[in-house]
Amino acid sequence: MLFVTGTEDFSKFRFCFMSMLPNLVFGFIPFIIFMINPSLTFLGDLGVFAISCGVGDYLNVINALRQVPKGAKIYNSGMHSYWYKPEK
């Protein structure tokens, strides 16, 4: 299982975007190109591999969407994600 991590605090939208971008670029886009042109089997293999390796990112995004309140910031520490409400 592979996942994306960062060293700064993120908004919920930016955290979800940052987590899903590698899966989109290396997974879904190559797989869609393979579906359009099946002779490009390398792109199909790359897409399937990248989509399946993004399980950790999918879990982080699901947890962020379900648990993080509006206006909170998210940060990563190792394999764990934490959120907090910044003081105004």
pTM of the model: 0.80
In a domain, 3, yes or no: no
Tell whether 64 is covered by a domain.
yes
pLDDT tens digits for the chain (88 residues)?
556 667 788 899 999 998 899 899 999 999 999 999 999 999 999 999 999 988 888 888 999 999 999 999 998 877 788 899 988 7
Query: Is 76 within the bounds of a domain?
Result: yes
The Cα 37–Cα 33 span in angstroms is 6
**pLDDT score, position 2:** 58
Could you tell me if residue 43 is inside a domain? yes
SS3 4: coil
The reported pLDDT for the residue numbered 17 is: 92
* Burial of 57 per CB tally in 10 Å (0-12, 13-18, 19+): buried
- The reply to whether 2 falls in a domain is no
Split into its structural domains, the chain has a count of 1
Residue 4 within any structural domain of the chain: no
